[in-house]
Amino acid sequence: MTRTPLRPLARILSARAAGENPDVIERENLAQRHEVIRDKARARAEGRLLFLGLFFFLAFSAIGGRMGLMAATDPVEPKAAAAGTQILAQRADITDRNGRILATNMLTHALYAQPKVMVDPKRVARELAAIFPDLDGPALERRFTDGRSFLWVRKVLSPEQMQAVHEIGDPGLMFGPREMRLYPNGRLAAHVLGGASFGAEGVNSAEVIGTAGVEKAMDARLRDPAQGGAPLALSIDLTVQATIQEVLEAGMKMMNAKGAAAILLDVHTGEILSMVSLPDFDPNDRPNPLVSKDAEPGDSPLFNRALQGVYELGSTFKIFAIAQAMELGLVTPETMVDANAPMRWGKFKIDEFEGHNYGPLLSVTDVIVKSSNVGTAHIALQIGGLRQQAFLKSLGLFDATPIELIEAPGAKPLVPSRWADITTITASYGHGVAASPMHLAAAYATIANGGVAVTPTLLRRDVPPAGVRVMSAEVAANSVSMLRQVVTRGTASLGEVEGYAVAGKTGTADKPRRSGGYYEDKVVNTFASIYPANDPKYVLVVTLDEPVETSGPKPRRTAGWTAVPVAAEIIRRTSPLLGLRPEIEIAPADEVTAVSAVAVEE
Amino acid sequence: MRPVLFILIFASMIGLGFWAYRENYATKDALDHVEALQSEIATLRESLTLQRAEWAYLNRPDRLRALAEANFDRLGLLPLEPTQFGTVAQVATPAPKLPFITDPVDVIGTQQPQEDFP
């Protein structure tokens, strides 16, 4: 390009000749030159801006496009992922304390239908009704033809049923894989396990959720992926549970009871080795019984008597009043107390069983052995209502038990809101305060554990938790010794099991009427036992609902005749299974008798 | 010199391309193998779960009890009793071993001809 000089000679000369200022020409030329430079620079800057804009646009659209693509595609498992990823068994197994399976999963299939692609809905409905007798053929056909495009037919199929459905051969019938909860032991520990059902359902999988018992209470733990499907070990011992169930069922029939419950507790760890409630059900096929309005909740087989059966537990409570009085230093086992029946308190009359009178004076040990209401009442009055409440609370008899069942928080003991003197009296022998067998077992375990409170649990514990001391070891030992005498020379004489030194207390309570008052001939019999008495290891509580023993001339409804023999048989059968060696007292008396017998013969 | 360099570079390009091609397919094969193995593991795990369930089902206490009763003639199984606990003293200890015999003694009665009979 030709460069225009700032001061072109020709123009300058002519300007000078004309007498004008030649500098004007120079400025004019300079201005023109700057204009050209500016135009060039602008064009270049615009080009750069355009280029950068284009670059950013492409970069952002590439990133955006990739993000959109990733969001729109289905997630794919990385092929080269590390091995050991848990694909199956999304819900953890439940095992007993020795690792035997109580609940596991099984792969099965669900059946669904897509009527839009069905070839012959009429025939399909007819054949399905033939395979599944509980399906209604005509109703199914109506649902296949009313224009819907999807419907579930069955939630789970057995392999045989699946094959039969395959053989119908209609493209509108589809199978979706399902993980089903399986309880291989059937009715065993049904109330502990509860049951499971399907939650959110999809075609390819369904969520398995617990509906009751430990399945529901521990639902989060069982489904936690962080646990990697590690089985949940319960404290239940399968063998012991089966034995107790068998014995209790036989005992319930023999005693004509309508229900029964038993709890076996390890007193040092608080582990529940067995919890049986009868009648029971099969958790694989959890029933949904329609209990009529006037029926008691206890009539349903789903009712867990051991935990939810909140009844007045009768004389089994007496040992708590006596233990507290000994702890407070009010009495010793040998102290004589007033036991003159009937006792009058205001407008109330306190009687003994069948109108007996064990008085006028009875030692504290004999109050327990003979199960004297009046003697216990006098001791309770010495303790006083406030201290009595505090003690019963420390034994856990006022709160729901903390065990890992969804029903546990709902089973709260019934405690009167106003604690008058008469309540102090009646509560001391187990009336006016209602608790479940589970509460009773925990309270007895505290006595058996040397006075240190025991928290019952359904999960296996390797280390016993530190408990609070409720009473001194000496008081606990004295209480156990009194309970031992109940069996050796008191109301529970049928509870003697050779070699196991059973200690325990019977309790007979009348059932309350719905309309108020009590039934004459309906009782709840309880036997709470601790064994072996010299070194307590286990607590067994047996409860029978409305039992009656009819071998004698007149029907007998006291615990000593019904619950005690059943408990004795349970102890005899389960102790060897628990590895508890009987301690046969080798009585030198036998030799003396033998020698004297020989002497007599001579 | 330059053409030789070109040819060498070209040849190595082809060589590397061939190697990359083979590696690519080998990797894909390995991934397929891993996938097959993982699905096999899943199947085996599934059958393991099923067999565990089956084992638990076949060993349920109800069934074992019924079987013990049905085969009582052959097995004679009864529930465990407290009386079945023994003590160590009741276990027979094995008899002590005889020491090595160095000086044999004749234990069969022999008779010396000159002895008198009683």
pLDDT tens, position by position, A315-325: 899 999 999 99
Contact A499 B79 (CB under 8 A): no
Asked if the C-beta of A578 comes within 8 angstroms of chain B's C-beta atoms, the answer is no
The pLDDT value recorded for residue B115 is 58
Give the ranges where A449-502 is alpha helix by DSSP (H). Answer: 473-489
Mean pLDDT of B82-91: 80
Which segment of A53-67, A435-449, A533-547, A572-586 scores lowest on mean pLDDT? A572-586
| Integer Cα distance of A399 and A413 in angstroms | 6
| Residue A513 or A162, more confident | A162
Band (A180; pLDDT cuts 50, 70, 90): confident
The pLDDT value recorded for residue A47 is 96
Which segment of A165-174, A282-291, A395-404 scores lowest on mean pLDDT? A282-291
| Among chain A residues, CA nearest to B57 | A184
The pLDDT value recorded for residue A81 is 59
Sign of the torsion angle spanned by Cα atoms A282, A285, A286, A291: negative
Backbone angles phi, psi at A529, to 5 degrees: -130, 155
| Per-residue pLDDT at A578 exceeds 80 | yes
State the pairing for strand pair A361-363/A311-312.
Answer: unpaired
Mean pLDDT of B67-80: 90
The pLDDT value recorded for residue B112 is 67
Asked if the C-beta of A499 comes within 8 angstroms of chain B's C-beta atoms, the answer is yes
The pLDDT value recorded for residue A353 is 77
The pLDDT value recorded for residue A593 is 46
| Per-residue pLDDT at A64 exceeds 50 | yes
Cα dihedral A124→A125→A126→A132 (10° resolution): 110
The pLDDT value recorded for residue A31 is 92
Which of A154-168, B86-100, B101-115 holds the top average pLDDT?
A154-168
The pLDDT value recorded for residue A566 is 93
Mean pLDDT of B40-54: 87
Asked if the C-beta of A99 comes within 8 angstroms of chain B's C-beta atoms, the answer is no
Among B37, B56, B84, select the one facing A101 at the smallest CB separation. B56
Question: Which residues on chain A are in Cβ contact (under 8 Å) with B38?
Answer: 83, 85, 87
Band (A299; pLDDT cuts 50, 70, 90): confident
Mean pLDDT of A534-555: 88
Residue entry with tokens 């001791």: A379
| Integer Cα distance of A254 and A298 in angstroms | 20
Mean pLDDT of A133-158: 85
Which 8-state DSSP code applies to residue A496? Answer: -
Backbone angles phi, psi at A102, to 5 degrees: -105, -35
Instruction: Give the CA angle between residues A423, A428, A433 to the nearest 5°.
Output: 60
| DSSP run (H or E) holding A336 | strand A336-338
Contact A186 B82 (CB under 8 A): no
Peptide bond between residue A342 and the one before it cis (omega within 30 degrees of 0): yes
Which 8-state DSSP code applies to residue A185? Answer: T
Among B52, B60, B81, select the one facing A185 at the smallest CB separation. B60
| Among chain B residues, CA nearest to A101 | B56
Per-chain mean pLDDT for chain A: 86
| Residue A4 or A52, more confident | A52
Question: Which residues on chain B are in Cβ contact (under 8 Å) with A500?
Answer: 82
| Per-residue pLDDT at A79 exceeds 70 | no
| Among chain A residues, CA nearest to B45 | A88
What's the start-to-end Cα distance of chain B, in Å? 133
The pLDDT value recorded for residue A294 is 63
b vs e for A480-500, b when ≥16 Cβ sit within 10 Å of the residue's Cβ?
bebbbbbbeebbbebbebebb
Give the pTM.
Answer: 0.78
Band (A59; pLDDT cuts 50, 70, 90): very high
Report the percentage of chain A scoring pLDDT > 70: 93
The pLDDT value recorded for residue A584 is 66
Contact B65 A242 (CB under 8 A): yes
Of the residues B49, B63, B83, B84, the best mutation for testing chain A's interface (the one with the most A CB atoms within 10 Å of its CB) is B49
Question: Which residues on chain A are in Cβ contact (under 8 Å) with B65?
Answer: 242, 246
Report the percentage of chain A scoring pLDDT > 90: 28
